[in-house]
Structure 1
């Protein structure tokens, strides 16, 4: 079930965020033009907005406002717990969820959210030296699902870049990032 997969991605990413050294927030992210802090802030903002959409509340800001304050790891922890609870609501997969690019059926929004949490978690793991914490089984599963669909519609608007080169025997998370256009 997609909700269990979101939980798993949150667990993985939570462990990674907890291991980020304070001096690493200014380091470059795998997302062009972003730092580790920028990427974490994007992730926290996304979780806060999804939580608000699912619970009918005000998120308290726009996606790229400063959601981290002086305690980035705590901000992530609080957002992740609220996000987890929102997705566990009995009606979470009913209806549609309004996203920045339009209304999306709730199950599709959940899949998008799962991808966001998992992929940004992998990004953060790689740039902060915590690759061992990545859930390769979930990465392989998501990569297989993405390869089975027409993914070009996600590359056209610039959401993801063209696939980059990576060794065939690279771990699943590196192949997933390469498929999504990350240089790994």
Structure 2
């Protein structure tokens, strides 16, 4: 159980470094998430972090998931959300119960894994969008991809359109590219 919390910490750090690298002109850049630019994707991610942290701590998130969570300074909004998110996952009871996410209630460890996927994949989406794939944590991407394969893949999520069909990539592609391709991302 501690492994997934450690991975969430690493994902928060890695995605945080990517968010710091985003300049204002890049907020309108397209991302591998079709129909979302960098700002929309970051807003989704920051909003999700607030909602999940509120669910874990039994508080009101203060806003709906897709409300404007970024305001005028995406880096400041990210940093605040990351602090709240990290603290919520480090609660002693974070993985013991069920957690209500957008897709329904999940056991704590499963919810943590879904959250980890959100953090890592969307961090990679932003890194690719801003031309900084070097900031992606390829070790963490490889671990996450291996976990997804070990747990039977994500085919159940392909049907409702959460993820697209797997995209072919070279065997020697970096882990972040393999992860994004597995989830149907094109770039």
Whether TM-score is above 0.5 comes out as: yes
Distance in structure 1 (CA, Å) of the matches to 2:58 and 2:78: 21
Q: Is residue 33 of structure 2 the alignment partner of residue 35 of structure 1?
A: no
In the superposition, the TM-score normalised over structure 1's length comes to: 0.97
Q: Is residue 169 of structure 2 the alignment partner of residue 169 of structure 1?
A: no
In the superposition, the TM-score normalised over structure 2's length comes to: 0.96
Structure 2 spans left out of the alignment, 5+ residues: none
Distance in structure 1 (CA, Å) of the matches to 2:100 and 2:149: 26
Superposition misfits of 4+ residues, deviation over 3 angstroms: none
Structure 1 spans left out of the alignment, 5+ residues: none
**TM alignment of 1:9-158, pairs within 5 A:** 9-148=11-150, 149-158=152-161
Give the paired residue count: 184
Distance in structure 1 (CA, Å) of the matches to 2:79 and 2:154: 31
Deviations 1:21-76 (A, max 9, x none): 11100111111111100000000010000110011111011111100011111001
Distance in structure 1 (CA, Å) of the matches to 2:154 and 2:78: 29
